């Protein structure tokens, strides 16, 4: 069951037996009190929904479940922007800091209070409205980590316009196909993003993407870096021209009352085919689920300074940089750059400067810091930290302990939070102050989350009795409501393997204490640096190169990125497998999907190992990639090809 690519990690996890009981002093002050899990989940979510959110019209029914279709907070009317911004200003929190924004260039920083945020959002919403954006208008967002990113999402939420935010590292093809699939009419982007001291172009990529997506008629561009870009008459507008002169009186642009189940946004994510899935999230359940988990999992207090170091372009950023924290009127740090720009102490400087209490990041980043050593970290006062979070992939115990000891000074609970784009919110996680922690275990399902591990036949594997398929048996508030334009795929992918549960696509086991240990993907989805990538999507990208005949993509274990991509390629007659070709193919994948999808290794082969029925045997290629003894080769049409590939792979090292 264990993903081969992560087998070393799994072995380490299986052997792990250290435990960290909660500190009584933490428990004393924690948001989640002893007895937390004894509450009735429906009463819990009903109360959280009423108390944590403000409603224009109260909901009448907590939930409806007609498997696989869930609805939450039925009958309610609310607005996400009102919940994130306006009501806090009305309640006297206007001077509270919403974001400490830290630009990539040193000393380029802004303090944005809730009142500032409201003013910026109202202006942006009025500007968008002047261009014709209103309730139901579909908008694409392609921005880096600049203040305009949350401002744009909130302004669109204010108007009731559903959006899809495409990560700034994605290619023109990726952006174009997403905009086309959603039939977006508008695009909000920026000239270029700061990338390690140099501008990385976004607008030219957006231009190319718009050529592929003719539904997009209007584009608004933020000038972030002063990079010269082409502006097309009648289509392209500068943000400053559209937004700066607008009225910032909230009454000039009231928050649109939305139904609880109105589409809020779409997030595209890789699945097991070449085509990314448009994952649908609706309004009320998403807001309730993200803000509630944010409050309890990170133990957020009125004066907490919280930093989720993800990118807004991923679901982690939507849920835990923008919407969850803002519903809770939290003060967040938002950082534009990378951890080692201009040097490796950047993160620790930020934590020290803003006295950050909560840090939420990914194992791959923790392992990168670990590789760099503790020198930079030791020069900074990190004593403000209180809770450390991890998300995106299984965290190996060594990295967990390093994080706790070196970043958290040995005193901070580490919350390893398991969830997915489809989930919208954290589903399996410790609660600091309540949970006995185990390095490498995401521990408990959150209240009301009916998680289980099934065997092949759909029977629950009892605690302590081995690994199987991670499933969830009951709906949760922030659950995705389907896939854009593909209900069949929605049912097929998630709800067909078992008749009574959601199939997460991960392997897992539950230990004798009932704690969950996540073991990585069990399908053709890879997890590279916490980013989800599909093997088939990368194969399709490779095959779209004119010289490539066939491609097989597998992952191998990597000490920093978790998994790394290995591509085996056969070339068409006449094409030569030179070092230049290799670089060209990597670039090609980068251009088709995005730099994160570039294979770490490309191996040229004369042919790929096929079964007699013509299927590529990825399992064998994975053995080669991970230097293992070859598995069963009996169904192979021509056994000699694997040895040939093995030799090539070795000579490439």
List interacting residues with ligand WT7 (CB under 6 A).
269, 315-316, 391-394, 416-421, 442, 504-506, 518, 520-521, 527, 530, 532
Q: What is the dihedral of CA 406, 98, 72, 422, to 10 degrees?
A: -50
Residue closer to ligand WT7 by CB (options 70, 315) is 315
Residue among 436, 434, 430 nearest 417 (CA): 430
Q: What is the DSSP letter of 479?
A: -
- List the beta strands (DSSP E) in 166-244: 186-190, 192-195, 198-201, 218-222, 236-238
Smallest gap from residue 235 Cβ to ligand WT7 (A): 32
Q: 444 and 426 in contact (C-beta within 8 Å)?
A: no
Smallest gap from residue 580 Cβ to ligand WT7 (A): 33
Neighbour count for residue 463 (Cβ, 10 Å): 15
In whole angstroms, give the CA distance from residue 409 to residue 400: 13
In whole angstroms, give the CA distance from residue 367 to residue 562: 9
Token pair 């398991």 is found at: 418
Q: What is the dihedral of CA 51, 54, 57, 58, to 10 degrees?
A: -10
Residue closer to ligand WT7 by CB (options 190, 429) is 429
Residue among 523, 595, 446 nearest 271 (CA): 523
Residue closer to ligand WT7 by CB (options 395, 641) is 395
In whole angstroms, give the CA distance from residue 636 to residue 223: 56
Residue closer to ligand WT7 by CB (options 416, 515) is 416
Q: What SS3 class is residue 153? A: helix
Residue closer to ligand WT7 by CB (options 175, 255) is 175
Residue closer to ligand WT7 by CB (options 337, 389) is 389
Residue closer to ligand WT7 by CB (options 49, 520) is 520
Smallest gap from residue 3 Cβ to ligand WT7 (A): 9
Residue 522: half-sphere exposure toward Cβ, Cα within 13 Å: 21
Smallest gap from residue 132 Cβ to ligand WT7 (A): 33
Smallest gap from residue 320 Cβ to ligand WT7 (A): 9
Question: Which two tokens mark 352?
Answer: 């020290």
Residue closer to ligand WT7 by CB (options 121, 528) is 528
Smallest gap from residue 311 Cβ to ligand WT7 (A): 11
Residue closer to ligand WT7 by CB (options 250, 413) is 413
Smallest gap from residue 606 Cβ to ligand WT7 (A): 34
Residue 312: half-sphere exposure toward Cβ, Cα within 13 Å: 29
Mutual angle of helices 640-651 and 618-625, in 10-degree steps: 30
Q: Specify the long-range contacts of residues 366-371, CB closer than 8 Å, at least 24 apart.
A: 366/390, 366/395, 366/399, 366/402, 366/403, 366/407, 367/396, 367/399, 367/559, 367/560, 368/339, 368/560, 369/339, 369/344, 369/407, 370/398, 370/399, 370/402, 371/560
Residue closer to ligand WT7 by CB (options 248, 422) is 422
Residue closer to ligand WT7 by CB (options 203, 532) is 532
In whole angstroms, give the CA distance from residue 404 to residue 210: 45
Residue among 165, 155, 164, 151 nearest 135 (CA): 155
Smallest gap from residue 316 Cβ to ligand WT7 (A): 4
Residue closer to ligand WT7 by CB (options 182, 310) is 310
Residue closer to ligand WT7 by CB (options 112, 391) is 391
Residue closer to ligand WT7 by CB (options 153, 308) is 308
In whole angstroms, give the CA distance from residue 646 to residue 142: 41
Residue closer to ligand WT7 by CB (options 299, 393) is 393
Smallest gap from residue 279 Cβ to ligand WT7 (A): 8
Smallest gap from residue 491 Cβ to ligand WT7 (A): 19
Residue closer to ligand WT7 by CB (options 176, 505) is 505
Q: What is the DSSP letter of 437?
A: B
Smallest gap from residue 590 Cβ to ligand WT7 (A): 19
Question: Which two tokens mark 393?
Answer: 């992939």
Smallest gap from residue 555 Cβ to ligand WT7 (A): 12
Neighbour count for residue 170 (Cβ, 10 Å): 23
Smallest gap from residue 426 Cβ to ligand WT7 (A): 8
Q: What SS3 class is residue 113? A: strand
Smallest gap from residue 20 Cβ to ligand WT7 (A): 17
What per-residue string of b and e applies to 266-291 under the rule 16 or more CB within 10 Å gives b?
bbbbbbbebbbbbbbbbbbbbbbbbb
Smallest gap from residue 340 Cβ to ligand WT7 (A): 22
DSSP 536-592: HHHHHHHHTSTTEEEEEEEEEEETTTEEEEEEEEEEPTT----HHHHHHHHHHHHHH
Token pair 């990726």 is found at: 174
In whole angstroms, give the CA distance from residue 379 to residue 382: 9
Smallest gap from residue 533 Cβ to ligand WT7 (A): 9
In whole angstroms, give the CA distance from residue 481 to residue 466: 31
């Amino acid at each position: 069951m264990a993903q081969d690519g992560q087998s070393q990690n799994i072995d380490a996890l299986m052997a792990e037996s250290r435990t960290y009981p909660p500190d009584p002093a933490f428990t004393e002050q924690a948001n989640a009190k002893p007895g937390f899990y004894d509450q009735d989940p429906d009463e819990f979510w009903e109360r959280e929904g009423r108390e944590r959110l403000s409603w224009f019209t109260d909901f009448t029914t907590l939930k409806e479940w007609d498997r696989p279709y869930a609805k939450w907070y039925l009958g309610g009317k609310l607005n996400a922007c009102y919940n994130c911004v306006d009501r806090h200003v009305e309640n006297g929190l206007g001077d509270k800091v919403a974001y400490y924004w830290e630009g990539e260039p040193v000393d380029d920083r802004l303090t944005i209070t809730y009142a500032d945020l409201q003013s910026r959002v109202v202006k942006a919403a009025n500007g968008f409205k002047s261009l014709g954006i209103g309730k139901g208008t579909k908008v694409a967002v392609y921005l880096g980590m600049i203040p305009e990113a949350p401002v744009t999402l909130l302004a669109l939420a204010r108007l009731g316009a559903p959006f899809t935010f495409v990560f700034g590292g994605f290619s023109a093809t990726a952006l174009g196909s997403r905009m086309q699939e959603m039939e977006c009419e508008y695009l909000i982007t920026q000239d270029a993003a700061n990338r390690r001291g140099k501008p990385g172009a976004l607008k030219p990529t957006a231009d190319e993407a718009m050529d592929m997506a003719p539904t997009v008629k209007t584009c608004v561009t933020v000038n972030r870096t002063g990079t010269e870009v082409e502006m097309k008459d009648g289509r392209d507008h500068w943000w400053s021209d559209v937004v700066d002169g607008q009225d910032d009186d909230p009454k000039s642009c009231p928050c649109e009352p939305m139904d609880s189940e109105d589409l809020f946004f779409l997030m595209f994510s890789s699945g097991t085919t070449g085509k990314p899935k448009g994952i649908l999230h609706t309004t009320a359940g998403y807001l309730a689920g993200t803000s509630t988990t944010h409050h309890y999992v990170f133990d957020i207090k009125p004066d907490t300074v919280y930093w989720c170091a993800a990118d807004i372009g991923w679901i982690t950023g939507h849920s835990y940089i923008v919407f969850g924290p803002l519903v809770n009127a939290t003060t967040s740090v938002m950082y534009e750059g990378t951890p080692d720009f201009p040097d490796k102490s950047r993160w620790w400087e930020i934590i020290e400067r803003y006295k950050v209490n909560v840090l939420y990041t990914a194992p791959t980043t923790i392992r990168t810091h670990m590789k760099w050593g503790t020198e930079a970290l030791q020069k900074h006062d990190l004593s403000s930290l209180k809770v450390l979070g991890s998300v995106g992939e299984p965290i190996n115990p060594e990295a967990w302990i390093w994080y706790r000891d070196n970043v958290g000074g040995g005193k901070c609970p580490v919350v390893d939070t398991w969830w997915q784009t489809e989930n919208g919110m954290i589903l399996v996680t410790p609660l600091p102050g309540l949970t006995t922690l185990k390095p490498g275990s995401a521990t408990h399902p959150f209240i009301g989350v009916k998680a289980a591990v099934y065997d092949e036949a759909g029977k629950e594997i009892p605690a302590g009795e081995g690994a199987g398929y991670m499933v969830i048996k009951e709906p949760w508030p922030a659950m995705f409501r389907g896939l854009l334009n593909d209900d069949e795929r929605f049912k097929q992918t998630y709800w067909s393997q078992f008749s009574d549960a959601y199939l997460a696509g991960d392997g897992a086991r539950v230990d004798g204490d009932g704690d969950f240990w996540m073991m990585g993907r069990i399908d053709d989805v890879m997890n590279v640096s916490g980013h989800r990538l599909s093997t088939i999507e990368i194969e399709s990208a490779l095959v779209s190169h004119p010289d490539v005949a066939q491609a097989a993509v597998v992952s191998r274990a990597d000490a920093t990125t978790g998994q790394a991509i290995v591509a085996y390629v056969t070339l068409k007659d006449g094409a030569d497998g030179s070092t230049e070709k290799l670089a060209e193919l990597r670039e090609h994948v980068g251009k088709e999907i995005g730099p994160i999808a570039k294979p770490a290794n490309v191996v040229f082969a004369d042919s790929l190992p096929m079964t007699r029925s013509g299927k590529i045997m990825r399992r064998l290629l994975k053995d080669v990639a991970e230097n293992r003894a070859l598995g069963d080769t009996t169904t192979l049409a021509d056994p000699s090809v694997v040895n040939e590939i093995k030799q090539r792979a070795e000579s490439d090292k």
